[in-house]
Structure 1
Amino acid sequence: MKIKALKSFAGKVTMTAGQELNVEDKEMAEDLVNAGFAEEIKVAAKGKA
């Protein structure tokens, strides 16, 4: 899940405010979003050529 940090934080995942990161552990990424530390970045689906 791709997320963007809203504020700096440290732990199993460490990010600075404004940083974007793809977090493989979806549950951890969702926890960060629910806690207000990050927001999910929606990735557009790729179309077939």
Structure 2
Amino acid sequence: MRMFRKKELKFWDQKMMGELQLEIEVAKKKLMQSSILWKLHQFLP
């Protein structure tokens, strides 16, 4: 296994963090949608 240069490491960190942020945003949206549906379901008989 070769050693990564710091610049490369920084790039990969940013890439990983970016992807993580995207996944978190998607998860939040799904959660919001499902909680809204759940609330509607509670109000409707």
Asked whether the two chains share a fold, i.e. TM above 0.5, the reply is: no
TM-score by length of 2: 0.23
TM-score by length of 1: 0.22
* Structure with the bigger percentage of strand: 1
* Structure with the bigger percentage of helix: 2
Bigger RCO of structures 1 and 2 (CA < 8 A, at least 6 apart) = 1
